[in-house]
Chain A
């Protein structure tokens, strides 16, 4: 059974701070790693994906992957109230395989 674990939160950070979201996965065969943001009642929207060990930066977002530790994280710099949402970590194997989602971490950015 492939599992993706996230702290459900809520994680509260003040506006302008760095939010750190963590995720671990059980399947060592996982190849692709994704972070999605989901607002209540809406479909998930992709924030970032990462395939290789190390860091990947895109604007205020940085994804970090450590395959040896089976650990993925997402850092959000200069957090804004509009970043308040549920963040879903998802992994997949190679090819056209489905994403396996974690339960999500609810982030609240306090103005």
Chain B
């Protein structure tokens, strides 16, 4: 079945630095990828929709200048958290729709200290 590889799985960074998260579709082409964020004991909240070759669409309340999304190829989308702060600490998950439905990456646990 479709596989989405997400890296890193866990990252700790200092406040004010930037962190890049990568999601790759391994055996299918993902023209669209979705980025979610999940805080403890809460559900997945859609942050943005990433479209290959065009600008991402951000959900209301998500700062596009803080969460930079690049979808430069049919198999790779990246999310960069810029100038990270402790409140950005969360579980970030990407997803893409393949032939078998929605496939999720394994998630990235970001901790900003």
Contacts and interface: CB of A to CB of B under 8 A. Distances in A.
A binds B: yes
Interface of A: 32, 34, 41-46, 49, 88, 90, 92, 96, 98-104
A88 B43 contact: yes
B102 A101 contact: no
A68 B107 CA distance: 35
Given A88-B44, A99-B95, A46 B105 contact: no
Contacts of B49: 98
B97 interface: yes
A92 to B, nearest CB: 8
Contacts of B110: none
B105 A43 contact: yes
B104 A44 contact: yes
Main secondary structure of the interface of B (DSSP, over half): strand
Given A98-B46, A104-B43, A49 B34 contact: no
B101 A98 contact: no
Contacts of B105: 43
Given A42-B107, A43-B93, A101 B44 contact: yes
A44 B101 CA distance: 13
Given A42-B107, A88-B44, A34 B101 contact: yes
B101 A49 contact: yes
B43 A101 contact: yes
A43 B31 contact: no
A102 B43 contact: yes
B15 interface: no
B43 A99 contact: no
B79 to A, nearest CB: 15
B76 to A, nearest CB: 17
